[in-house]
Copies of this chain bind each other. A is one copy, B any other.
Amino acid sequence: MAVKWVYSFDEIDAAESAVGGDWDEVRRLLGGKGANLGEMTRLGVPVPPGFTITTEACNAYLQADTTFPEGLWRQVMETLARMEESTGKAFGKPDHPLLVSCRSGAQFSMPGMMDTVLNIGLNDAVVGGMIGLTDDPHFVYDSYRRLVQMFGAVVLGVRDEPFEEVLERYREQRGVSSDTDLSTEDLKAITTEFKAIAERFAGRAFPDDPLEQLRLAIEAVFRSWNGKRAVDYRNAAGIPHDLGTGVNIQTMVFGNMGNDSATGVAMSRNATTGESTLEGDYLINAQGEDVVAGIRVTKPLEELAADMPELYEEFAVVARKLEEHYAEMQDMEFTIEHSKLWFLQTRDGKRTAQAAVRIAVDQATEGLISQRDAVMRVSPAQVDFFLHPQFDAESKQTALAAGALLATGLNVSPGAAVGMAAFDADLAERWAKEEGKKVVMVRPETKPDDVHGMLAAEGILTSRGGRTSHAALVARQFGKPAVVGAESLEIDLATRVLRVDGRRIGEGEWISIDGTTGEVFSGTLDTQTPDLENPWLTTLLGWADEMRDIGVWTNADYPHDAEIARAYGAEGIGLARTEHMFFEPERLPIVRRFIMAETNAERQSALDELLPLQREDFEGLFRAMDGLPVTIRLIDPPLHEFLPSYDELTNELADLKIRIQAAGNLAEIDELLATIEDREHMLARVETLREANPMLGLRGVRLGVVRPALTRMQMRAIIEAACHESRRGVAVRPKVMIPLTGHWGELARQREVLDDEAALVMEEQGHEIAYEVGTMIEIPRAALTADRIAEYAEFFSFGTNDLTQMTYGISRDDAESGFLMTYLHEGLLEANPFATLDRDGVGDLMRIALQRGKATRPDLEAGICGEHGGDPDSIAFCREIGLDYVSCSPPRVPVARLAAAQSAIRAPRRDPQSAA
């Protein structure tokens, strides 16, 4: 039997049997596009008739030195004859002309191969017939000149420029800007010129014979498989070179054949809301281009029910069938030619985050897909988007058109914010709290004592800093939209003005920032806030919870955050940072007194004042998390962070010394002298505390070892708070966490202090509290010596921010505005290791730590509280290596729940005891 090179769309069953019923093999044989057209035809969807030439024919053609294989052209002619018969049209027949398109279609979608050639079959004679049929000579000549141009370019290999020069000349002569504004006569003349160009450049005339047109187009598709761009692409994408491409020949249909014709696009569900209703646009007597180009006003699809009720009904049935078949919401293109409905294309439809969630849940409820499929259908980014207000798309379009875009920075905390620019934290807080104004806080960069202003603001904008700068961390922590590192902005604090490209925004003027994209606009944009209580989201996350096998906890420092996180589904607090509490305005002076103290007595007196304040903090956390674990990390940052900076103090002192020279009276001089003395004292302390590399300096557990009284105060506050709440009936589950352990000896010493103080307090209170002690694993050495450390720790929590910095030897604050961006830009790194966990390096240390830790203590609990805890890819890794939970900022909790479930569906759990 001769080889079968050609399958018409309705021969899909034959193609399937020819390759043994394997759908992947069908795609290999016919290419992806050909297989799909066959699939739709088999479903009974009205697809314009056509056929596919196999990839094997392509390979045979190329191997035979660009000669059609035996029987190919005969099979094409035979199949074409059947098409002519079934459509009642024929190639080159002016009164019933058959026009076809010719497209390439390989197994894998591949840029760099031949584009489409439309309207094959047109020639001067057919044009005349078409004008009779459509009564639209402008359209017919435009189609004709397009065929000549496309054919010239992609089949005959003529460059685009000579064609474009002709068009440009005509546009200039007529004073019009668009080709569609040229007259029919012009188009006719242009077609003639195009033919001349084709002949001159290609050395052969544009063929009038439709069959000749078709044959040459097929050969061009075959040859494009070995085009340079296609070969380069396959090399880069790792696609084999021996697959070959298929060729699809399909009947053209026209929606502009009169008032019984139409064309449109439609979705099988509402792409904005997700409602289960058909949604789309169409135009009577129009081409497909007209619908998308926006030149004519389209009609909503519902009106088709009135215009053409039977066809609408037919459309709805097919749409439903397609959605059921693909088990996905479909985005379809259709054309009605002389009251006959044709489907030109169907594919999975794009949708908003809200629609994605609703459609997935609805389809699962309808039984179209499983709950697992529903969980997989929504991306974590969509859930994230869901939780933050966004700019209204139309409003943003308007702003862009009006030139309101001031700059683009790093999109570090998603969501939209609109407010008056406030250039310092105190003003931001005053305007927001006392005057009820909406404020965007604008600073070159932020510091810990700016937090009150950041909390009061709608959003944060800085001109410096990277993805993990202070501003970015705090913003994400509190779910505040933020754009940082917008370097083109010059923020002049002295004159309270923001300058950019010659424009100036004064304090109090409105700005809008988009933390999802990093855009900064002048003026106000409209925002939309999705509904957090959205029942579909609640359902979806509920399903996710049933599927996931790793806990989702939260990083929360304040009771209010803890409550929000719990509402979002957090199952515990994995990290409560006690130092944030120290920065509050009424506490900072006490903390500074502790640091400046010269005797143990002075130090203890400051600690005594802090004790009741810390205790209240912890009481609130225990209440908010009643019944759930609360992991409290002892103080971590270096002490100098609680003092003014060296630069600040030297500037202030320089200023004071100038003022004293200008002072008017003795009293003023005395006061200035006293201030100078105080500041010089503080400066001396700052100098003592100053470190060349504070990241690697006196912080974390090292502080506790050097100043055990501080550890005792914090432990006392924790246990006193636990006793107090426990007596009131709250189920308290305190977990005390030591930061920055590098050597087991540090932990051993701190444990002694902790256990001793806890015993003292419980004795005083006459109340027992079960507590656990654990440590952060954030220093490479801690991971490597986890077996020794686990002797003193009931739990590990991976601090992957610092662990990444030390394992990679990268200071993120410096690098994220520097060489790290160069690395990412140049493709040296695929991902920012501070955003997505570095599996090879940091991840390997985590595996080692877990394996060694569990060897010592098999029931060791382990989680992650670095920012990676909210990143889907990193969550998947944490599951794979066997962590018990991830802990992330409250707004990331729903994201993490979904990501964890998806990871569980995708990959099996790993036994952390097995070899790393």
Residues of B within 8 A of A691 (CB): 811, 814
Tell me the residues in window 766-809 of chain A with beta carbons closer than 8 Å to chain B beta carbons: 778-781, 784-785, 788, 802, 805-809
Asked if A838 is an interface residue, CB under 8 A from chain B, the answer is: yes
CB distance from A764 to the nearest CB of B (A): 29
Q: Are B809 and A802 in contact (CB under 8 A)?
A: yes
Q: In whole angstroms, how far apart are the Cα atoms of A826 and B705 in the complex?
A: 10
Q: In whole angstroms, how far apart are the Cα atoms of A745 and B802 in the complex?
A: 22
Tell me the residues in window 745-778 of chain A with beta carbons closer than 8 Å to chain B beta carbons: 745-746, 749, 778
Asked if A823 is an interface residue, CB under 8 A from chain B, the answer is: yes
Q: Are A697 and B745 in contact (CB under 8 A)?
A: no
Asked if A815 is an interface residue, CB under 8 A from chain B, the answer is: yes
Q: In whole angstroms, how far apart are the Cα atoms of A115 and B320 in the complex?
A: 103
Interface pick from A154-162, A492-500, A555-563, A839-847: A839-847
Asked if A205 is an interface residue, CB under 8 A from chain B, the answer is: no
Tell me the residues in window 718-755 of chain A with beta carbons closer than 8 Å to chain B beta carbons: 740, 742-743, 745-746, 749
Q: Interface readout for A140-165 with B: 1 if CB under 8 Å, 0 if not?
A: 00000000000000000000000000
Q: In whole angstroms, how far apart are the Cα atoms of A864 and B815 in the complex?
A: 28
Q: Are B692 and A823 in contact (CB under 8 A)?
A: no
Asked if A813 is an interface residue, CB under 8 A from chain B, the answer is: yes
Which residue of the partner chain B has the closest CB to A749? B828
Asked if A695 is an interface residue, CB under 8 A from chain B, the answer is: yes
Q: Are A779 and B828 in contact (CB under 8 A)?
A: no
Which residue of the partner chain B has the closest CB to A688? B818
Residues of B within 8 A of A86 (CB): none
Contact of A692 among B695, B702, B781, B826 (CB under 8 A): B695
Check A823/B705 contact, CB under 8 A, given A749-B828, A780-B845, A840-B788.
yes
Asked if A822 is an interface residue, CB under 8 A from chain B, the answer is: yes
Q: Are B702 and A819 in contact (CB under 8 A)?
A: yes
CB distance from A257 to the nearest CB of B (A): 58
Q: Are A841 and B811 in contact (CB under 8 A)?
A: no
CB distance from A547 to the nearest CB of B (A): 32
Residues of B within 8 A of A166 (CB): none
Q: Are A809 and B740 in contact (CB under 8 A)?
A: yes
Asked if A654 is an interface residue, CB under 8 A from chain B, the answer is: yes
Asked if A829 is an interface residue, CB under 8 A from chain B, the answer is: yes
CB distance from A634 to the nearest CB of B (A): 16
CB distance from A224 to the nearest CB of B (A): 33
Q: Are B808 and A779 in contact (CB under 8 A)?
A: yes
Q: Are B692 and A811 in contact (CB under 8 A)?
A: yes
Asked if A810 is an interface residue, CB under 8 A from chain B, the answer is: yes
Q: Are B779 and A822 in contact (CB under 8 A)?
A: no
Q: Are B838 and A781 in contact (CB under 8 A)?
A: yes
Residues of B within 8 A of A808 (CB): 742-743, 779-781
Check A742/B809 contact, CB under 8 A, given A749-B828, A819-B705.
yes
Residues of B within 8 A of A697 (CB): 811, 814-815, 818
CB distance from A21 to the nearest CB of B (A): 42
Residues of B within 8 A of A828 (CB): 705, 743, 745-746, 749
Q: Are A807 and B785 in contact (CB under 8 A)?
A: no
CB distance from A467 to the nearest CB of B (A): 15
Q: In whole angstroms, how far apart are the Cα atoms of A745 and B823 in the complex?
A: 9
Asked if A300 is an interface residue, CB under 8 A from chain B, the answer is: no
Asked if A696 is an interface residue, CB under 8 A from chain B, the answer is: yes
| A interface residues, tally (CB under 8 Å) | 50
Q: In whole angstroms, how far apart are the Cα atoms of A398 and B698 in the complex?
A: 42
Asked if A706 is an interface residue, CB under 8 A from chain B, the answer is: yes
Q: Are B814 and A692 in contact (CB under 8 A)?
A: yes
Asked if A693 is an interface residue, CB under 8 A from chain B, the answer is: yes
Residues of B within 8 A of A780 (CB): 780, 806-809, 841, 845
Asked if A542 is an interface residue, CB under 8 A from chain B, the answer is: no
Asked if A530 is an interface residue, CB under 8 A from chain B, the answer is: no
| Chain A, interface SS category | helix
Residues of B within 8 A of A818 (CB): 697-698
Asked if A71 is an interface residue, CB under 8 A from chain B, the answer is: no
Q: In whole angstroms, how far apart are the Cα atoms of A901 and B704 in the complex?
A: 43
Residues of B within 8 A of A811 (CB): 691-697
Q: Are B844 and A784 in contact (CB under 8 A)?
A: yes
Residues of B within 8 A of A823 (CB): 705, 743, 745
Tell me the residues in window 4-61 of chain A with beta carbons closer than 8 Å to chain B beta carbons: none
Residues of B within 8 A of A693 (CB): 693-696, 811, 813-814
Q: Are B819 and A807 in contact (CB under 8 A)?
A: no
Tell me the residues in window 78-96 of chain A with beta carbons closer than 8 Å to chain B beta carbons: none
Which residue of the partner chain B has the closest CB to A840? B785
Residues of B within 8 A of A742 (CB): 808-810, 841
Residues of B within 8 A of A841 (CB): 742, 780-781, 784-785
Residues of B within 8 A of A694 (CB): 692-693, 811, 814
Q: Are B784 and A845 in contact (CB under 8 A)?
A: yes
Q: In whole angstroms, how far apart are the Cα atoms of A805 and B740 in the complex?
A: 14
- Which residue, A742, A809, A829, has most C-beta atoms of chain B within 10 A? A809
Residues of B within 8 A of A784 (CB): 807, 840-841, 844-845
Q: Interface readout for A692-716 with B: 1 if CB under 8 Å, 0 if not?
A: 1111111000100110000000000
Q: In whole angstroms, how far apart are the Cα atoms of A806 and B696 in the complex?
A: 8
CB distance from A444 to the nearest CB of B (A): 12
Q: In whole angstroms, how far apart are the Cα atoms of A746 and B693 in the complex?
A: 24
Q: Are B696 and A695 in contact (CB under 8 A)?
A: yes
Which residue of the partner chain B has the closest CB to A844? B784
Residues of B within 8 A of A788 (CB): 840
CB distance from A809 to the nearest CB of B (A): 4
Q: In whole angstroms, how far apart are the Cα atoms of A845 and B780 in the complex?
A: 9
Residues of B within 8 A of A779 (CB): 807-809
Q: In whole angstroms, how far apart are the Cα atoms of A910 and B785 in the complex?
A: 21
Contact of A806 among B746, B785, B809, B819 (CB under 8 A): B809
Residues of B within 8 A of A805 (CB): 696
Residues of B within 8 A of A749 (CB): 828
Residues of B within 8 A of A695 (CB): 692-693, 696, 811
Q: In whole angstroms, how far apart are the Cα atoms of A434 and B363 in the complex?
A: 91
Contact of A814 among B650, B696, B706 (CB under 8 A): B696
Residues of B within 8 A of A654 (CB): 654
Q: In whole angstroms, how far apart are the Cα atoms of A806 and B743 in the complex?
A: 14
CB distance from A132 to the nearest CB of B (A): 65
Q: In whole angstroms, how far apart are the Cα atoms of A88 and B528 in the complex?
A: 116
Which residue of the partner chain B has the closest CB to A785? B840
Q: In whole angstroms, how far apart are the Cα atoms of A352 and B695 in the complex?
A: 45
Q: Interface readout for A668-708 with B: 1 if CB under 8 Å, 0 if not?
A: 00000000000000000000000111111110001001100
Q: In whole angstroms, how far apart are the Cα atoms of A778 and B809 in the complex?
A: 9
Residues of B within 8 A of A844 (CB): 784-785
Residues of B within 8 A of A705 (CB): 819, 822-823, 826, 828
CB distance from A881 to the nearest CB of B (A): 14
Which residue of the partner chain B has the closest CB to A842? B781
CB distance from A354 to the nearest CB of B (A): 40
Tell me the residues in window 814-857 of chain A with beta carbons closer than 8 Å to chain B beta carbons: 814-815, 818-819, 822-823, 826, 828-829, 838, 840-842, 844-845
Q: In whole angstroms, how far apart are the Cα atoms of A521 and B654 in the complex?
A: 39
Which residue of the partner chain B has the closest CB to A815? B697
Q: Are A698 and B819 in contact (CB under 8 A)?
A: yes
Q: Are A706 and B781 in contact (CB under 8 A)?
A: no
Residues of B within 8 A of A810 (CB): 696, 742
Q: Are A698 and B814 in contact (CB under 8 A)?
A: yes
CB distance from A817 to the nearest CB of B (A): 10
Q: Which 10 A-B pairs have the closest CB atoms?
A: A781-B841, A693-B811, A696-B811, A779-B809, A691-B814, A780-B780, A745-B828, A693-B695, A693-B693, A780-B807
A-B contact pairs, 17 of them (CB 8 A): A650-B650, A654-B654, A691-B811, A692-B695, A692-B814, A695-B811, A696-B696, A697-B815, A705-B823, A743-B823, A743-B828, A779-B807, A780-B808, A780-B809, A781-B841, A781-B842, A806-B807
New A-B pairs, 6, CB < 8 Å, besides A698-B819, A705-B826, A788-B840: A650-B650, A696-B814, A742-B809, A743-B823, A779-B808, A806-B806
